[in-house]
Chain A
Amino acid sequence: MSKRIQALLAVLVIATSIAAAQGAKTTIRFFHRWPLEPRKSYFDALVAEFERRNPDIEIEMDSVINDAYKEKIRVLVSSNDIPDVFCSWSDSFAYNLVKSGRIKPLNDLLARDKAFAASFIQSQVKPFTFDGKVYGMPQTIDGKVFAYNKAIFAKAGITKEPKDFDELLATFATLKKKGYPTPIIEGLADPWTISHYLGTMFQRYLSPAVTAKDYNEATGEFTDPGYRVVLERFQKIVDFMGPNATSITHTDARALFAAGKLPVIYIQLAEFGLIRKSNPDIQYGYFNFPAFKDGKGDPGLLTGAPEGFMLSSTSKNPEAAERFFKFIYEKQNAAQFVKAVGAPVAVIGAMTPDNSFPELIGAVELINGVEGSAPWFDNAVNIKIADAFMRGAQAVATKDKTIDQVMAEVQAAAKIVRSEAKK
């Protein structure tokens, strides 16, 4: 054999060995919904650190934003192309994924590793539990509050936070009179912002028996006149949002608030970190959605639900996926998340005065102090109904539809949902 052929063979053997060594790496697919900063950098670093500690595992990370994520994860789950580890909202969004039968129950994992199971605020695990099985673990905890600029309130002579809905409208009217033509902007170009309002207002105004019946896919009719009243009252808030109410996104509205140009915004506690990043000096207070004097629901609840991660039951590498899953929730990683993102987490002891700020600590106290939580509306009801309300209320805001038309569309959607549930 000539030397040249021998050299060629040697190269081939080395190349094959390298390829085999690379092939020996286990690949895990990780999918989340944060392609934007600051979470993007956090997850990039988390994955890099995990790969450094586990050289036998490679993480293939992918991400798309919010609404696109909702659609893409549904497509992936339905097409059996489900990622090994992925993020999910809780309640009905999670339940819809669970119904596919492709989400891994975590009961065995939690039974095997009791310390891991005990590391979470237990109330936040419940929204991921269906029929006695846990399908996801919470990462962030959340709630929706009205945040207000303290300096603007002081300038307008507003000294107390509104205690009921009438006082809330009066506060907006005062701000308008004092030179703030749009006292509140929400960013209704994003339909989900509407669902956050409506969900809270339905919960506050309607009797729990009505929402329990209507939010159930098999029995929901949405014929109670209270829904109409809530839509009317929502329009009263929208009237204060000015002509650009439906053309501004929530991100823009938040930027206006952080810049000190907007007096009030209805915002998630998880967004506090983003406000702080934009403007660390802004002084703001916050309060839960005020009660309706004639409301039948519990005004002490806070709208909001945890978000977390799930595992695929069809994963080819379940052991490696589980290792990464647990790594996400390690206390030091959760603490780093709080520091980098500024959002409250469900891992006990991860939030300290060193890695958070007063508003965030207050937010956690608020979550722990309320009587209970109400789920996000678009997670609490079937998406067809949520969509009819969101699109409908958007059209009412632009004066293209009447509230009666919207309710007719909601009831039509509920009819479809009922028929599907009964099949």
Chain B
Amino acid sequence: MRRNNVRAAAEPLLFIMPCILVLGAFVYYPLVQNLAFSFFRFSAFSPEKVFVGFGNYANLFLDKTVGTALRNNARYAVISVLCQVCFGLVLAAILEDRSFRRVGQLFRTTFFLPVVISISVICLLFGFIYRPMDGLLNGFLELVGLGSLARPWLGSSKTAIFATIAVSQWQSTGYVMMLFIVAIQKIPEELYEAAEIDGASKLRRFFVITLPQVREMFFVTSVITVTGSVMVFNEPYILTQGGGPGTSSITIAVHMYQSGFFKDMMGYASTLAVLIFGISAALAVLQLRSFRTGEE
């Protein structure tokens, strides 16, 4: 009898054990180890580690690049939420509208296509578009009589970060749009029919039916977008050679990578990793609390 009870108690544990082991080995153990590393100063080439206490954390406040990087991440987050989440929702609503049903599929595929292209390829492509002397963008601006707006997009500290952010928007808006399309398709058709009978315009139907019905998805996409913005790495790393000119387009993930693998400050890089973890966890909790509806 007792053996059966023990077995009954152990069975669920056995089922979740693989998950616990994998998570433990690949998520929680590295997380704890990274936290421990952040209190040391060490080189990747040497097994010696020097305990520096909170020295690396104090350096975070003295390091001006951290401020620049966080400001750039904040720009990423704000622009990404506006473009990907808000504009993605509008795109989804338009493509799901009855009058767009015939061409919707074509546009859906077109907008989603950048998502399946490798970010490295996209960055190379935009590298050509942004080229100052023979790039497509400056060429187009000159063609339409806006030559005065042509500039070295990636070579100027004023535009490099925004040119980099624009690439992310081009790639990811289609993905968020697709998530909203799925959410919109789940809204009962009767709601729209009832509103139509009551004489509600398309705009009003969007605000009183679509928007409230997709708020769960709005929350999910916001979390994905904002946490993605904190961890953005590829675009500045490839497009502006690691956040240039100077450090004008650097992000916190690029700064972490360069501190660790370029400047060989592994302890400080671990501290930056802790900062990234702290920010993304805090943002996720904040969004979880403010958007929680309990419906799904």
Contact = CB atoms under 8 A, between A and B. Distances in A.
Nearest to A192: B241
Interface residues of A, number: 37
Interface stretch (B147-155, B170-178, B284-292): B147-155
A17 interface: no
A423 interface: yes
B245 interface: yes
Nearest to B163: A247
A244 B152 contact: yes
A191 B241 CA distance: 8
Interface stretch (A95-103, A131-139, A367-375): A95-103
A398 B156 contact: yes
Contact of B50 (A189, A246, A392, A423): A423
A74 B156 contact: no
Chain B interface SS verdict (over half): loop
A189 B244 CA distance: 7
Interface stretch (A30-38, A104-112, A383-391): A383-391
Nearest to B65: A391
Chain A interface SS verdict (over half): helix
Contacts of A78: 43-45
A397 interface: yes
Nearest to B237: A68
Contacts of B246: 391-392, 394-395, 398, 400-401
Contacts of A420: 41, 43
A246 B246 CA distance: 9
B247 interface: yes
Nearest to A408: B64
A4 B63 CA distance: 74
Interface stretch (B10-18, B77-85, B256-264): B256-264
Given A71-B261, A391-B244, A244 B155 contact: yes
Contacts of B46: 99-100
B132 A248 contact: yes
B263 A246 contact: no
A78 B262 CA distance: 13
A243 interface: yes
Interface in A73-102: 74-75, 77-79, 96-97, 99-100
Interface of A: 67, 70-71, 74-75, 77-79, 96-97, 99-100, 188-191, 243-248, 252, 383-384, 387, 391-392, 394-395, 397-398, 400-401, 416, 420, 423
Given A70-B262, A189-B240, A245-B155, 10 more contacts: A71-B261, A74-B264, A77-B44, A78-B45, A100-B46, A191-B242, A247-B130, A247-B152, A247-B153, A252-B131
Interface of B: 41, 43-46, 48, 50, 130-133, 151-157, 240-242, 244-248, 258, 261-265
